[in-house]
Structure 1
Amino acid sequence: MEINGGSVVYELLGEAGELIVLTPGGRFSKDSDWFRPLADGLVAGGKRVLLWDRPNCGRSDVQFFGPSESHMRADTLYELLTRLVAGPCVLAGGSSGARDSMLTAILYPEVASKLVLWNIVGGIYGSFFLGSYYVIPSIVAVRGLGGGGIGMAALLNAPEWQERIAANPNNRQRLLDMDSAEFLKVMKRWLNAYVPKTGQAMPGVDDEMFERITVPTLIFRGSDSDWDHPRRTSLDVSCLIKGSLVVDPPWPDDYWLRAAEKFSTGEAGRFTLFDNWVLLVDPILEFLSGHQSSE
């Protein structure tokens, strides 16, 4: 579907039942091997599932606008939902997918019937890491400081954007066609959103904006050993979303830490970090069964 000047790839699974919009983390695709079992489990539980490649993810087009990347994705998801479905639906996601889901519910509360969130990123380390991983390398490349040329053509040598081009060859020309000065302006704005600020439990979003979330919300708390998705951030968010339910995650408290160790030593691939997401199927279905739609 063409949305905001870019192609967005999506997929609907299931024949009937309550609709869940499922959003992965990072810039991962809806087709990631570790993500599909979660979607399939929810469909087997009687739900419909909407999977989508957000802008800059998977096979969708690259796009750069908005106060932050999550604001851009929220705008995109709103347009996608208003064209595809009638009425609100469940927004569910982990890591950046949790951020995208929350922001969609904040900016466009009419599309959300319930929220399910896990692996919520926050804190000083988590926020700075996001900016250093997703924004700064592109700024360095375009400014000619990365040794791979200067201007937008330099992004073609960056592994992350090479992945986007491999998944969607149209992205090569889309990157080249963008004005480098405008691109850097957007990147500085996105980077500023990740700078930790007082009164922002979620990067780039003022705490009082959470008052707009009034739907039943399930939050799987973070862990003390997970610096990327800390316990404190999940609890802060639960305080901001009135009436939200916080539960322990269905995996060991040190899962992320141990999975990261296996990945860093070459014992396992990076998807080991997310293989546990399939364990969310039963608790999500249980939560939704206790908050049936009125339809």
Structure 2
Amino acid sequence: MARIAAGGLELDYELIGPGNGPPLVLTPGGRYPRDTAGVPELGQIFAEHGYRVLLWDRPGCGASDIAFTAPSESVMNCEALVALVGVLGLRNITLVGGSAGSRISLMAAARMPENVRKISIWWISGGPVGLAGLAWFYCGDQIAAASKGGMEAVVQLPSWADQIARNPGVRDTLLAQDPWDYIDTMQRWGKAFGYSDESPVPGMAPEDFARLTMPIQVFRSGRSDMAHTRRTSEWVHELLPNSQMFEPPWGDDEWNYVSTFPIDSANRRGRFERWPLIAPMVLDFLRD
């Protein structure tokens, strides 16, 4: 475990696996930290198969810092990843991620396509209602709190409790914001999740997908998954020049099923706890 300055922020990360192994970046979803149940377990499987695995906390997640200067939270995260990969000197990387981690992987790859060997993604957030839900989940409670009680109310929100406990500097950064400027920022960040008929992934234009000519593994979302719609996964596959569509190793109702799981890191429970099930299919795809 370590912290490093990258892109103007201090990011918390861990590298596991053989030092000379091919680098693989594993990015979780939500605002969940890198030690969320299922994520390090999946990373350990990759490490045991020879990969040098980067587990990292995105800005505003876990113990990493946060800033509010980027045009969207997703841009902040993907640019942080590009900067982190550069500072660590990782070359010819593989990007693996689910949910928000799939979006960040695609956006980061579009900014450094020459440095990405392969990509594997699942649970790609999308659809009009699914994206509207993200805007509210990530930004709505922030706006409501700031408008009623200023930044003192924002730092009391449950959505920041874990980050502040791990990194008290996050509280200081939040309290340093002018509440009305913060509301404006959250409005912009919320708008960035808006659905478009031009692209399935907010922050990715059709020409961004066209740049991703490396082999990409796309797992089809379940028909019952309204957060990561099936059509979103199929649309992403259609836009990518060199992708393959795979059926996931779980049933159609997987997202609805795991959404009932308790978030309990101590007992290794949570929405990502079954992610290790995907490892054999990802490893098979990553073989040269």
Report whether the alignment pairs 1:5 with 2:15. no
SS in 2 for 1:104: helix
SS in 1 for 2:259: helix
Report whether the alignment pairs 1:40 with 2:39. no
Alignment check: 8 A CA contact 1:251 1:276 kept: no
2:276 is aligned to 278
Gaps (5+ residues) in structure 1? Answer: none
Show the 5 A alignment for 1:85-104.
85-104=89-108
Cα deviations across residues 241-280 of structure 1 (Å, max 9, x unaligned)? 112011000111222223335669xxxx994432220011
Alignment check: 8 A CA contact 1:118 1:222 kept: yes
Alignment check: 8 A CA contact 1:201 1:207 kept: no
Alignment check: 8 A CA contact 2:139 2:189 kept: yes
Paired with 1:243 and 1:4, the residues of 2 have a C-alpha distance of: 30
Gaps (5+ residues) in structure 2? Answer: none
Paired with 1:162 and 1:262, the residues of 2 have a C-alpha distance of: 20
Paired with 2:120 and 2:111, the residues of 1 have a C-alpha distance of: 17
Which residue identity does 2:13 align to in structure 1?
Y
With over 3 angstroms needed to count, the CA separation of the structure-2 counterparts of 1:88 and 1:79, relative to structure 1, is same
Report whether the alignment pairs 1:206 with 2:193. no
SS in 1 for 2:173: helix
With over 3 angstroms needed to count, the CA separation of the structure-2 counterparts of 1:97 and 1:86, relative to structure 1, is closer
Paired with 1:56 and 1:39, the residues of 2 have a C-alpha distance of: 21
Alignment check: 8 A CA contact 1:122 1:228 kept: yes
Alignment check: 8 A CA contact 1:223 1:253 kept: yes
Q: Cα offset for 1:182? A: 3.0
Paired with 2:71 and 2:168, the residues of 1 have a C-alpha distance of: 27
SS in 1 for 2:81: helix
Which residue identity does 1:22 align to in structure 2?
L
Q: State the TM-score, normalizing by the size of structure 1.
A: 0.90
Cα deviations across residues 125-169 of structure 1 (Å, max 9, x unaligned)? 21011011011110111111xxxx2x2222111111122111111
2:147 is aligned to 143
1:26 is aligned to 30
Q: How many residues align?
A: 282
Which residue identity does 1:128 align to in structure 2?
A
Alignment check: 8 A CA contact 1:78 1:111 kept: no
Paired with 2:84 and 2:111, the residues of 1 have a C-alpha distance of: 14
Paired with 1:227 and 1:270, the residues of 2 have a C-alpha distance of: 25
Q: Cα offset for 1:17? A: 1.9
With over 3 angstroms needed to count, the CA separation of the structure-2 counterparts of 1:10 and 1:272, relative to structure 1, is closer
Alignment check: 8 A CA contact 1:195 1:203 kept: yes
Moved more, 191-200 or 128-137: 191-200
Paired with 1:204 and 1:233, the residues of 2 have a C-alpha distance of: 14
Q: Cα offset for 1:108? A: 2.3
SS in 2 for 1:223: coil
Report whether the alignment pairs 1:157 with 2:156. yes
Report whether the alignment pairs 1:194 with 2:190. no
Paired with 2:165 and 2:270, the residues of 1 have a C-alpha distance of: 23
Paired with 1:261 and 1:21, the residues of 2 have a C-alpha distance of: 27
Paired with 1:204 and 1:83, the residues of 2 have a C-alpha distance of: 24
Cα deviations across residues 30-64 of structure 1 (Å, max 9, x unaligned)? 11122111001111111110011000000111222
The 4+ residue runs of structure 1 with deviation greater than 6 A are: none
Q: State the TM-score, normalizing by the size of structure 2.
A: 0.92
Which residue identity does 1:20 align to in structure 2?
L
Paired with 2:24 and 2:279, the residues of 1 have a C-alpha distance of: 12
Paired with 2:7 and 2:242, the residues of 1 have a C-alpha distance of: 34
SS in 1 for 2:125: coil
With over 3 angstroms needed to count, the CA separation of the structure-2 counterparts of 1:112 and 1:274, relative to structure 1, is same
Paired with 1:262 and 1:153, the residues of 2 have a C-alpha distance of: 31
With over 3 angstroms needed to count, the CA separation of the structure-2 counterparts of 1:233 and 1:124, relative to structure 1, is same
Which residue identity does 2:276 align to in structure 1?
V
Paired with 2:204 and 2:280, the residues of 1 have a C-alpha distance of: 31
Which residue identity does 1:119 align to in structure 2?
W
Cα deviations across residues 95-115 of structure 1 (Å, max 9, x unaligned)? 000000000011222331111
